[in-house]
Chains A and B, each alone.
Chain A
């Protein structure tokens, strides 16, 4: 069990919300850099080196692609490097391209770890209170999909032994796909009625439904929650007082280094690497425990 994922779903959700929000809200290169580093570090903790390298390689390409193509579409900026088909290519546009690529790749890596950490049951739990009916619909759909996959496999085989659509041509594939989906649709619709009955038989629809979950809010959840909120507030203050302001056009603005500024950047950096730190801390603790035995 990864330790960051064992925090309470509310805390996790708020964390991802604030990290992604901050990353997308600003174009400040320092913050974007922190976000990229944080997201990749944590992603590396969650996956095998092989997967990590493959993904980083792939997104490096995306990164370069965006950085290069930006000057083709954007001709703002005053430092003209050269002309391409009579259009100016500017230094500012290239730098802006790099910044936006950083943002995009960071957000993608955050989304990747989000998908691994916020499993469906946490999601359903989070929204169970605000949208109880829809979260039940989601929960049921999530249950159906593996069932459907199994049934699709079965029907596929049976239909083959009936001698139907046995070739690999695209028409046969589409036609047999539709037939299989059709059979599975009947199967699931007819059986879904039973499920509706089973729900009513257990009193679904009575007034005053409660929401049960296995998730408990521990002290450490509270501490992390407070930390996130505090950092979020300071970051917002930073935005309000224009500490993070940064412009690319017409000329790239310089970073103003003030005492408060450094402090602010420190906070943001800490926020971005919290999951990584938690994982590392846990790993070290286990190693220590084991060495003591």
Chain B
């Protein structure tokens, strides 16, 4: 019997005209791993919350949801709380208590489980999830990845049969995210746990899913095995937005108009190319870059050394770096390598103890008061929520006007201008915290742009946003570049860096090593490179993006089919 059965589910939020969910029906067998994807605002979270009774939003609901044949509303309290587990997006906000061991026990305490049993289950969970080393720590001392693992473990301690996860990895760095997803796969395989997962990180989760569901505007438009998702989506709409979000292997497969089961992983993708395409042309000709940018360096770092305190180790050890007008430069690097520190030093938040930083030909220390931040350099922090202070976006924008010394009229015009450029007109009168992650990002960027910076520093600008928001951000950055703004970002997102940057560099061990154009940079890297490059590098030398791979495959043409 199916573990979840949803029939004709309709849902409308209070005082809203449009339905958040339209006529959704599907069923899930025990032990299945289901991935749900869709743009933000497509109704994914609403659907998930309706599946977890305690979190069901208020509103008008019709249709029914069955858990193991019983309507969800009729389940008894204990079953509902313990058998259906729910992990949310932000690892920080779900942790209730201040100690790891207490957090693990929290759900069991609520269920009234006696102490000896709790002791055993908590021990079991700590071992399974490798938590035993930090079992007695304070929850605030954990890293983001550990926190999310703790959230998962504390739910697993209640022995759920169905696990629902709403973008659990969006706030994690790539390595912690991969670890988390691997753990989910293990839970599914080893324990037969049924999992429903909403994710943006489709490259990794689609290959391990049993079925993929795609939502759009509150409707379920697709529910099928992952191998067929790409093709079916293309049948619905040749230019469907979600096509961009699919794993690289699927996108290449689609771009080449192939039929049948699509490859999902890098390995499958490589095999697909080897079996089907020739490689007599192995270098993609690219239009030569227009004249070398001969402008003055707008930002220059010479031999920069920095540490937070005298007795702490150096974070920057002789960094040299320069940027010219209108360049987009990405600095990649592992977690905790000091990328964010590098940005904060560039922005003048911290002072290096050795070396020289000049901004537009003037040394950074010669800027007085707020001059450094007016018409000059601006930093978009990783967490957009730190930028907001007021109760709506417009008010927040007004404040910058004061710093810049604008008149009321100017503030109004500038706000409208920025809003149009970022297409956030509809968001201006909303409370910043009512916006989605991608929207918050854009609105925060807008506030920063009001400072009219010549140099824009971005810290992980694609963290936690979906593929569509990323492509919007891409367009915004290119637009700013055209206006002559220099953009420097630090990021984990190789795919994004590959399509947007003029040059990329790797930050490692306190300095920037190997700067180069994306093509040179990524085709020289083995591991730190795009999925498309990993899929194609055994045949073609410099294909970086999916589009590159598709183009070069088309140039080479299909292999003659050998008889088996």
Within B148-179, the residues touching A (CB, 8 Å) are 151, 154-155, 158
Assess the A201–B93 pair: CB atoms within 8 A: no
Q: Is B133 among interface residues, defined by CB-CB distance under 8 A?
A: no
Asked if A164 and B88 sit within 8 Å, CB to CB, the answer is: no
Interfacial residues of chain B within 377-408, with CB under 8 A of chain A in the complex: 378-379, 381, 383, 385-389, 399-400, 403
Name the CB-closest residue of B to A160: B349
Residues on A with beta carbons closer than 8 Å to the beta carbon of B102: 121, 139, 212-213
B59 CB, min distance to chain A CBs, angstroms: 16
Main secondary structure of the interface of A (DSSP, over half): helix
Closest to B403 in A: A163
Cα–Cα distance between A157 and B97 once the two chains are bound (Å): 28
Are A203 and B78 closer than 8 Å at their CB atoms? Answer: yes
Q: Assess the B96–A140 pair: CB atoms within 8 A.
A: yes
B112 touches A163 (CB 8 A): no
Q: Mark A185-199, 1 if CB is under 8 A from B, else 0.
A: 011001110110111
Residue from the list A155, A163, A164, A186 in contact with B433, Cβ < 8 A: A186
Contact A212 B97 (CB under 8 A): no
Does A147 count as interface, using CB distance less than 8 angstroms? yes
What B residues does A50 contact at CB under 8 A?
none
Q: Residue B109 at the A interface, CB < 8 A? A: yes
* Total chain B interface residues with beta-carbon distance under 8 A: 68
**Complex partner residue of B99 from A121, A163, A183, A204, CB under 8 angstroms:** A121
- Which residue of chain B is the closest to A141 with respect to CB atoms? B98
Task: Flag whether B421 is at the interface (Cβ < 8 A).
Answer: no
Across the interface, name the chain A residue whose C-beta is closest to B81: A203
Interface residues of A (CB under 8 A from B): 120-121, 124, 136, 139-140, 142-143, 146-147, 151, 154-155, 157-164, 166-167, 179, 182-183, 186-187, 190-192, 194-195, 197-214
The complex places the Cα of A195 from the Cα of B379 at a distance, in Å, of: 30
Of the candidate stretches B113-121, B206-214, B462-470, the one touching chain A is B113-121
- Known A-B contacts A202-B155, A210-B109; A120 and B98 likewise in contact (beta carbons under 8 Å): yes
Q: Which residue of A lies closest to B107 (CB)?
A: A202
Q: Which listed residue, B92, B138, B399, touches A164 by the CB 8 Å rule?
A: B399
A155 and B386 contacting across the interface, CB-CB below 8 Å: yes
A183 to chain B, nearest CB (A): 5
- Are B451 and A194 interface neighbours, CB within 8 A? no
A143 touches B97 (CB 8 A): yes
The residue from B97, B381, B433 contacting A154, defined by CB atoms under 8 A apart = B381
Nearest CB in chain A: distance from B47 CB, A: 16
A140 to B389, CA, bound (A): 24
Bound-state CA distance A17–B348 (Å) is 52
Stretch from B293-301, B313-321, B366-374 forming part of the interface with A: B366-374
Are the CB atoms of A198 and B349 closer together than 8 Å?
no
What CA separation (Å) do A166 and B373 show in the bound complex?
11
Q: Mark B101-139, 1 if CB is under 8 A from A, else 0.
A: 110011111111111001100100000000000001011
Please determine whether B140 and A147 come into contact, CB atoms closer than 8 angstroms: yes
The prevalent SS among residues of B at the interface is: helix
Query: Please, which residues of chain B bring their CB within 8 A of the CB of A155?
Result: 386
Asked if residues B55 and A200 are in contact (CB atoms below 8 Å), the reply is yes
In the complex, what's the smallest C-beta–C-beta distance from B447 to chain A, in angstroms? Answer: 8
Chain B residues whose C-beta falls within 8 Å of the C-beta of A202 in the assembled complex: 81, 106-107, 110, 154-155, 158
Nearest CB in chain A: distance from B434 CB, A: 9
Do B386 and A201 touch across chains, with their CB atoms under 8 A apart?
no
A-B CB contact pairs (8 Å), 7 listed: A121-B99, A124-B98, A136-B97, A158-B387, A187-B386, A191-B92, A201-B81
Asked if B146 is at the interface of the complex by the 8 Å CB criterion, the answer is no
* B110 near A206: Cβ-Cβ < 8 Å: yes
8 Å CB contact of B93 from A139, A195, A207: A195
Q: Is B52 an interface residue (CB 8 A)?
A: yes
With CB as the reference atom, state the residue of chain B lying closest to A147: B140
Residue B219 CB within 8 A of the other chain: no
**In the complex the two chains form, what is the Cα distance from A205 to B80 in whole Å?**
13
Are B119's CB and A183's CB within 8 A?
A: no
- In angstroms, Cα B138 to Cα A191, docked, is 19
Known: A154-B381, A160-B349. A139 touches B374 (CB 8 A): no
Contact B107 A147 (CB under 8 A): no
Give, as a whole number of angstroms, the nearest-CB distance from B464 to chain A: 15
Q: Are B344 and A143 in contact (CB under 8 A)?
A: no
Q: Pick the 3 closest A-B CB pairs, nearest first.
A: A203-B81, A163-B370, A208-B112
| Contact partners of A205 in chain B: CB under 8 A | 110
Nearest CB of A to B213, in Å: 22
- Using known A-B contacts A194-B88, A198-B93, A206-B111, determine if residue A161 contacts B347 with beta carbons closer than 8 Å: yes
- Known contacts being A143-B139, A201-B52, is A214 close to B101, with CB within 8 Å? yes
Q: Which of B86, B96, B113, B348 has the most CB of A within 10 A?
A: B96
A194 touches B94 (CB 8 A): yes
Q: Complex formed: what's the CA distance from A198 to B432 in Å?
A: 22
B420 lies within 8 A of chain A by Cβ:
no
A195 contacts B400, CB within 8 Å? no
Q: A151 to B92: give the CA distance in the assembly, Å.
A: 12
